[in-house]
Amino acid sequence: MWEPWGHIALELGGADVAVIDTPKLYSQTFNLLVSNEYRLAQTRKSIAVLGALDEAIQFIKKNPDEAKRILARDVGIDLETVKAAWSTYQFELTLQQSLLTTVQGQARWARREGHVGSALAEPEFLNFIDSSLLRKIKPNAVDFVYP
């Protein structure tokens, strides 16, 4: 359940709601995507977006209380709800090998469940991942075997 709904359910549910503590059972990522055409034509803009995102993450880490207040104000939820959920989030700009492992696993699941025809070859997902722009601004953020 996504926040703030988990926190609200706990507040409203009383004894009927329980938290199952399973750290790292589920990991949610937010991925940035652009077409190759855009990346090649707008390299400076693409790098600027990554740089701005990294600056925002650094601000969050250096000013967590202010970041919480900004989030509560801009999203329109109370500060206590933001504070309750805050520790469940990791603010990082990375490209990790686990992304490839995850999409490969999802492709196998989709095939097994019949969502993808068996005649269709599994994509070579490495052809869709480009770490070059992130490596330019933050080389240590890439934990990835492929260039």
Residue 83 included in any domain:
no
* Domain boundaries, position 122: 31-62+94-143
Classify 20 as helix, strand or coil: coil
Instruction: Print pLDDT tens along the chain (147 aa).
Output: 667 777 778 778 777 788 777 766 777 788 999 999 999 999 999 999 999 999 999 999 999 999 999 999 999 999 999 998 898 889 999 999 989 999 999 999 999 999 998 888 888 998 889 999 999 999 999 997 765
Task: Supply the pTM of this predicted model.
Answer: 0.80
Residue 121 included in any domain:
yes
Q: Closest by alpha carbon to 141, among 90, 94, 100?
A: 94
The half-sphere exposure of 33 on its side-chain side, counting CA atoms within 13 A, is 5
The number of domains in the chain is 1
Residue 123 included in any domain:
yes
Q: Closest by alpha carbon to 89, among 15, 3, 1?
A: 3
Residue 80 included in any domain:
no
